[in-house]
Structure formats: C-alpha cells, structure tokens
Amino acid sequence: MSWFSNLSILIALPLFALIFAAVAVLAHSLFRHFLASPERLSEHHEVAGFLVGVVGVLYSVVLGFLVGTVWTSFASAQQTADLEAGYVSDAFNFAGQLTSPQGGELQRLLARYAIVVRNANWSAPPQASKDRTIDLLNRAVRLTVAASPPPGASPADILEQNTIRSSLLDSLRSIGDTRRLRLVQSASHLPAGMLEALIIGAVAVIVFTFFFGVRSYAKQMVMTALLAGTIGLFFGLVIELSTPYSGSIRVSRDAWSLVIQNNRLGEFAK
C-alpha cells in the first residue's frame, strides 16, 4: 500500500468512493437476478425503508464519531511535531548563550538533530542500530551536563551560565519527551476490531439497498453507487486520518523547515 500513501488527497479520497461504489454496483447487479421483481419488492418498501433508516443512522453516528476522534488524534500528532521543533529551537538558542567550549558543539548536534528528523521517514519505526536522533540527543545531554563556566568567571557569570544550562536541560528533556510521543503516535492505527466493525456496517447498509425495487435499472444502480460512494468517502477519511505520519493526509513538517531556516541550522550542521 506504499503506492497509495504517495497519492494526493484529491485522488485518494475519490478513489475510496469509486472503489466502494464499483463493488456495490457490481454486487447489486449480480443479486438483482436472484431477487424478486421490482414490483414485488416495492410492496415491502415501508418495512425496508424503516429498517435501513435505523441501520443507517446507527452506522452514520459511529462513522461521524470516528471522524471526530481520528481528527482530534491527527491534530494532537501535528501539535507533537510542532512542539518538538520548537523545543529544538529553544535548546539551540540556549546553547548559543553558553560561554563554555561545549556551546558550539551543542549547537552543531542540535542542528544535525533537526535536519535528520525533518528528513526522516516518520511512518517507519526507527531501528535502534540506525537511529541517529537518539545518539545526537544523548550526546547533547552529556555535553550540557559537562558544561561549566570558564575559569575566572565572576559569581554573577557563573549564576547566569548555570541558569542557562538548567533551561537547556529542560529543553532537551522536552525534546526527548515529544520525540517518544511522536514515535508512539506514528505506530498507532485503528484497532482491528474497529476496522472490522466499520466494514461489516458498511456492507450491511449497502446490502439493504438491494431490497428496494426500482423499475429503472440505471436509476437504481446510480442510487446504490451514490450511497456506497458516500460511505467509502468517509471510510477513507477515517483510514487516512488514523495514520497521521503516513498516507495521503499526513502531519506537516513546516515547523521544522521554519526552525531550520530561521536559525540557519544548515550552516551549523556542517
């Protein structure tokens, strides 16, 4: 499904709708030959209409609730990525105020961290042996702990440097926390049971349309296609939003690009 993740959202969502509509129309065409005539089916429209209304409302409520839930999770994932970029910017600026020799090295490590994270594949779980970000972050923490004011510094300068170093450590800890949260969010998906319930519910609602009789074959197929396509559209939206770091709808990296550009991190990372 990697090819599907590379599709534009303007193509991905209509594709969900077309697939659902095509499958529903094909199934309806096959079942039409085994069902009673449209005249016979029309006798039961009142009962069938009431039942499909109940089932349709139940499914639409669940589907609408899921759209709201996955959108909230998507917004949370975007906030996590933006916060991590902001903490990197804060730590980089604090490192620049250190008068100890470690200040320049800290800025270089943080600049490399930002560039590596921005260019990384967020949807793939990092391998411990190849994850450069955790090594860069750990080295930055060790350098910060080892940083000390230059010899002969006044008490005021020592207090100032210790305050800066404390703020830098807080920023580094926040970077680590948001990094872990981003990795957890990138591995999250819809529970298998929830996905199964969505599919079964969609099938149940669409199958109900097979028991309505319309004399015009074309009109009946169009109605079936429109209903199935609408379900497929929102089904696809739920699937896309449930994987915020992959798919056609994914978390933006604009905050990282802005931090790298504004602080000229590309020059420090060399």
- For residue 128, the model assigns a pLDDT of 52
For the chain, the 3-state helix, strand and coil shares in percent, each to the nearest 5, are 75, 0, 25
Residue 125: pLDDT over 80: no
Q: How confident is the model at residue 6 (pLDDT cuts 50, 70, 90)?
A: low
The count of residues in the chain is 270
DSSP 53-79: HHHHHHHHHHHHHHHHHHHHHHHHHHH
Tell me the C-alpha distance between 229 and 22, whole Å: 8
Residue 176, amino acid? G
Are 109 and 147 in contact, with CB atoms under 8 Å apart? no
Tell me the C-alpha distance between 241 and 244, whole Å: 6
Among 37-46, 73-82, 201-210, name the one with the lowest average pLDDT: 37-46
DSSP 42-57: HTTHHHHHHHHHHHHH
Q: How confident is the model at residue 42 (pLDDT cuts 50, 70, 90)?
A: low
Residue 185, amino acid? Q
- For residue 194, the model assigns a pLDDT of 85
Residue 261: pLDDT over 70: yes
* Burial degree of 121 (CB within 10 A; 0-12, 13-18, 19+): exposed
Q: How confident is the model at residue 35 (pLDDT cuts 50, 70, 90)?
A: low
- For residue 48, the model assigns a pLDDT of 60
Computed over every residue of the chain, the mean pLDDT equals 84
Q: How confident is the model at residue 208 (pLDDT cuts 50, 70, 90)?
A: confident
Residue 129: pLDDT over 50: no
**CB neighbours (10 Å) of residue 259?**
22
Comparing 270 with 62, the larger pLDDT belongs to 62
Taking only the tens place, the pLDDT of each residue in 154-177 is 888 888 888 988 999 999 999 999
Does residue 202 sit in helix, strand or coil? helix
Comparing 114 with 6, the larger pLDDT belongs to 114
Are 80 and 178 in contact, with CB atoms under 8 Å apart? yes
